[in-house]
Homo-oligomer: A and B are copies of this chain.
């Protein structure tokens, strides 16, 4: 039996990536894709890579149609999903929100960072944060999954083994993260034009980025108490990919960090710990649902350095959403996620 899937808001990069991956997923039938702005347009006219593979056209969002789905993905701006989710859940539809509406557990904190009231704070406790490497069992039973942000995925997977093992000082965390421009979305903005962001590198949001509370919340839960985190995102002149360089002060000078990482992720399909002295490249995960990690300890000193790469649109968004869907519907976790990264 095929899972009937709908996508709300399919004109952005997470939307097209969901389409690409779902079109190749043998257990899913894509039944509806909505867009207010592009209704009537054939999906493959907007995204020509889908010609011959996706024959749907965008339709106006419509409650009845969406309620006929088994699962609905929201690839919408923040603040959109929360308006439709309660009715969908009531109708027995499972929901995976790729935006941020259900990522923070406390509505006050959410409202502070996202600058609007939350319309269904009562669902925040039920929503499961969709990082399978931490929450696999909860995801299997979830009705509502908050798909993690791209930076939070790369950063949390990198710090996770160290915090769980208690070998670093949770007050010493620094995440220096670099993202390709697709992370900013398919939006008409001057700052991400090729003529602006090309051949250029800059930090942004040093004073505060919305992914900071999300990462801090996740890592604090792992550490069993509040962590202190410095998070500096940067824009790098490439299309896809996040590279997070993580720093923390070691509290256990004898820990075998390489073994720790390998053990932690031995059973994970989508986290790959590289051999010692490795430097993962973002292109090694281009287009695939994979996080590659390397752990270093420069000059055998007091600082652990983790290098973590993902494709922001796959393990950082659409791929992880499908991984979550697979768990929620009892499919093999890797179904539809078998592609190999495009290199070069």
Contacts and interface: CB of A to CB of B under 8 A. Distances in A.
Given A13-B344, A344-B195, A203 B245 contact: yes
A207 interface: yes
Query: Copy number of this protein in the oligomer?
Result: 4
A285 B281 CA distance: 23
B243 A298 contact: no
A246 to B, nearest CB: 10
A1 to B, nearest CB: 22
A339 interface: yes
Contacts of A178: 178, 201, 234, 236
Contacts of A50: 340
Q: Chain A, interface size: which category?
A: 35 or more
A307 B230 CA distance: 14
A228 interface: yes
Interface centre among A195, A203, A237, A343 (most CB of B within 10 A): A195
Given A202-B281, A282-B200, A208 B298 contact: yes
A260 to B, nearest CB: 17
A83 interface: no
Interface of A: 13, 16, 20, 23-24, 47-53, 174, 176, 178, 180-182, 184, 186-190, 192-204, 206-208, 228, 230-232, 234, 236-241, 243, 245, 247, 272, 274, 277, 279-288, 292, 296, 298-299, 301-303, 305, 307, 309, 338-344
